[in-house]
A and B are shown apart, each in its own frame.
Chain A
Amino acid sequence: MSDPITRPGVGAQRDSVDPAAVEEKPEGVTPSAISRLGERKKARLDALAQASADKGGVSLVRDAFRRLRRNPVAIFGAVIVGLFVLVAIFAPLLAPHDPAQRFDELTKNLTVDNIPGASSDFPLGSDPLGRDFLSRMIYGSRQTLFVGVVATLIGLGLGVLIGALAGAFGGWIDNILMRLTDVMLALPALLLAISLVAMASRSSQWTVIFAVAIVNVPIFARLLRGSMLAQRESDHVLAARALGVKQGSIVLRHMLPNAMTAVIVQATLTLSTAILEAASLSFLGLGDPDINRAEWGLMLGVDGQRYFEVRPELAYYPAVAIIVVALGFTLLGEGMREAIDPKNRR
């Protein structure tokens, strides 16, 4: 453990030390993000060594990525997310039936109180309209991913625009933009989303996506502004300024890329809340009105709610899917946050 300190300047030393840190964990305890006492201590010592070795050192992003790869919890999250994306991509190959098709075998005996359960042809049974529930679950991954990713990207884009303008220019621009985010933050997330949806004359998938996206704009904006401000005073920006680099170039090439890490971590966490918020809107009757669209939040919020007493599976499957995916994004996001945490880097 004292090795990196007595022999600073050996950048590769980190790799030879850290596997031991992972193994050092007491047996019988499940690895968890925060139970890595030994590893943290070592990371700090390593960071000390790193600080003196930094001249020829590794880039911060690569360093963080290396730490991320060694975090079993983050890997677990990444695996969940990976599987989810794979299912979404290959949905047409995986699903046994067309998710929108109503089957005679299923509609034959279908009533409000009797929704056919599992059979060999339809492993998860029927949905309330006589469609194959398994296929709808599989296709649901696509729409759920779509809603989550698009809402997050829109929120991220607008938030980054506002945050970058505020952080780059400061002064009255900063002041006005931040008051704007204050107004948005003055409303709790779901209430803001509700009022945005209520504003639209007709709800559609896009009203849901926009409502969820707008809720996240002030969060991204504030986060980016904060790290931009920190960047403004940092050595490399001062150096660039001293060298006479143009203001626009400093902002775009020196400040923004370095300030983005925190925002990207936040985006990963937002993917999880976006999916949950979309489900909440569906539950409140403000979701996507398209009954043919298979999306987990919609399935849980509408049919899952309506038929909970008749056939709770209609709620259980999409709920479990949402929980697992939300958990996956959260674990991955937290792992990323830990990896870029200056406390672990220093």
Chain B
Amino acid sequence: MLRVIVRRLLQLVVTLIALSALIFIWLRNLPGGPIEALLGERATPERRALLTKALGYDQPILVQYAKFMQRVLTGNFGNSIRTGDPVTEVIGRAFPATIELALAAMIIAVGLGVPLGYLAARHRGRLLDNLSIAGTLLGISIPIFFLGYLLKDVFTQNIHWFPPSGRLSTGVDNTNVTGFFVLDGLLTREFDATADALWHLILPAFTLATIPLAVIVRITRASVLDVLNEDYVRTAEAKGLRHKTIRGRHILRNALLPVVTTIGLQTGALLSGAVLTEKVYNWGGLGTLITDSISGGRDYPVLQTLILLAALVFVVVNLLVDLSYAFIDPRVRVR
């Protein structure tokens, strides 16, 4: 087991180093070069030469890459071109918003998806099953930003159940502790702020949950169907075990393995979806940051850091998911 972990960690490090090298090459080959990206097209040659020297662009490429890596490892990612603030600060402000949204979406996707997939499998071929299959197919075929606008239109314009955008109503007093607004409210006992944050969270979270939900329903359903055909389930039924015991110990325990993998892979869908969802609801997280750093004149320092961060999150989550097998499935541990 330990050897597997070490191997996977090494692979992860190699992947990230390769990615950082690619990003470095990308930055060096920006349209007009990195200097132009920083100074704009009309800078004087003197200023360019000055900045080139100051940033070390006149040094050999390997030296530059080493320095770049040194800065990355010490957490210095430069300053945003747009605002001039340190990149770490800009991203740090937006990070909790996205994590909060993604977690809420994941809770919805797993919380609804696993029971629904299980029920669909148990009622195979019946109305519930067919409805859920149709629903999942629709879910993966609908552009989620369109779904976002649709939900927003229905629930904020036609019936005023939810607020149309943002994370908090104006006027709600919120003490910023962690940046996770729901959590902050609980920590500071400002429960009205928590309620307000949750109220803002529901629509975006459901929008973002669409694709993971559809995928989790499908995987759970298929996986439960496989397990239902197993001999040990029939044996358990023949032994006269209680329905609840069979469901928990025999069916779900075995059927959920592929579902766990899927949850890891869906982190990617969440990160991608967050970019779209956040734009629809003006959420102000990493997704909004990505969109802004592209459309408002490309803010390369922010963009490259965001890309590295997204890759890091995605890869680490998937590693954790793989490792969690050992705890769920004893067979993996033995190997």
List the A side residues contacting B19 at CB < 8 Å.
Answer: 183, 186-187
A289 to B: closest C-beta gap in Å: 12
Scan B7-39; emit 1 where CB is below 8 A from any A CB, else 0.
000010011101100100010000110000000
Q: Which of B276-329 contact A (CB under 8 A)?
A: 276, 279, 290-291, 294-295, 298, 303, 307, 310-311, 314-315
Number of interface residues of A (CB under 8 A): 50
A37 and B221 alpha carbons, distance in the complex (Å)? 14
Q: Could you say which of B126, B143, B275 has the most chain A C-beta atoms within 10 Å of its C-beta?
A: B143
State the majority secondary structure of interface residues on B: helix
A276 and B137 alpha carbons, distance in the complex (Å)? 14
B146: CB under 8 A from chain A? yes
Q: Which of B247-297 contact A (CB under 8 A)?
A: 267-269, 271-273, 275-276, 279, 290-291, 294-295
Residue of A nearest to B21 (CB): A183
List the A side residues contacting B291 at CB < 8 Å.
Answer: 284-285
A276 and B19 alpha carbons, distance in the complex (Å)? 26
Whether the pair A305, B149 counts as a contact (CB closer than 8 A) is yes
Cβ-neighbour of A284 out of B133, B225, B279 (below 8 A): B279
Q: Which of A192-225 contact B (CB under 8 A)?
A: 194-195, 198-201
Q: Which of B186-205 contact A (CB under 8 A)?
A: none
A180 and B11 alpha carbons, distance in the complex (Å)? 12
* Known A198-B294, A198-B298, A199-B26: A323·B15 in contact at CB below 8 Å: no
Whether the pair A304, B294 counts as a contact (CB closer than 8 A) is no
List the A side residues contacting B76 at CB < 8 Å.
Answer: none
Cβ-neighbour of A189 out of B133, B140, B272 (below 8 A): B272
Scan A318-346; emit 1 where CB is below 8 A from any B CB, else 0.
01001100110011000000000000000
A321 and B103 alpha carbons, distance in the complex (Å)? 32
The interface stretch among A28-36, A230-238, A258-266 is A28-36
B301 to A: closest C-beta gap in Å: 13
* Known A35-B125, A37-B125: A286·B130 in contact at CB below 8 Å: no
Instruction: Give chain A's interface residues, CB within 8 Å of chain B.
Output: 25-26, 29-30, 32-37, 179-180, 182-183, 186-191, 194-195, 198-201, 272, 276, 279-280, 283-286, 297, 300-301, 304-305, 308-309, 312, 315, 319, 322-323, 326-327, 330-331
26 cross-chain CB contacts under 8 A: A25-B125, A32-B125, A32-B129, A34-B124, A34-B129, A37-B125, A180-B18, A182-B11, A182-B14, A186-B15, A186-B315, A188-B271, A188-B272, A190-B276, A191-B272, A195-B307, A198-B298, A276-B141, A283-B276, A283-B279, A284-B294, A285-B291, A285-B294, A305-B149, A319-B143, A322-B141
Instruction: Give chain B's interface residues, CB within 8 Å of chain A.
Output: 11, 14-16, 18-19, 22, 26, 31-32, 124-127, 129-130, 133-134, 137-138, 140-143, 145-146, 149, 153, 157, 221, 225, 267-269, 271-273, 275-276, 279, 290-291, 294-295, 298, 303, 307, 310-311, 314-315
Q: Which 10 A-B pairs have CB atoms at the shortest separation, nearest pair first?
A: A201-B31, A190-B272, A188-B268, A35-B125, A326-B141, A186-B311, A327-B141, A188-B271, A188-B272, A319-B146
